[in-house]
Amino acid sequence: MNIYVGNLPYDFTEEELKDMFNQFGDVANVKIILDKISGRSKGFGFVEMAEKSEGQDAIQVLDQCPVRGRNVRVHVARPKNGRPQRSKMKRSKESKAEEIEIQTPVKHSANEEDAAVG
């Protein structure tokens, strides 16, 4: 059973998360999701438990449980394909160039400048 754990403290480790769920049964896998750029925790992760009944017990007890001043959210993880797709459209240099409106400078004659000044 795959379990989502959210609202984790940002310094919470995978080992601590595993220990939190070990009291309910065999933990097969633990993963805290990290930001790709900074490498820091995003404040959520996933725990995979071998037995569904053990996972359900963990969810029931740990959901809204305070952890370092934050009430963690624990529920069954949704399948990856069950979420709406985020747009990953990347623009090429050509498409960016097409979107920019190119304006040519307006040339004024000397007579027009004199008329405007005075």
Q: What does the pLDDT look like over 18-47, one tens digit per residue?
A: 999 999 999 999 999 999 999 999 999 999
Task: Kindly report the pTM of this predicted structure.
Answer: 0.68
Beta bridge mates, 4: 46, 75
Closest CA to 13 of 37, 41, 35: 41
State in Å, rounded, how far the first CA of the chain is from the last one. Answer: 82
Tens-digit pLDDT profile for residues 42-65: 999 999 999 999 999 999 999 999
CATH dotted code for 2-78:
3.30.70.330
- Work out the mean pLDDT of the chain and round it to a whole number: 83
Closest CA to 57 of 28, 32, 23: 23
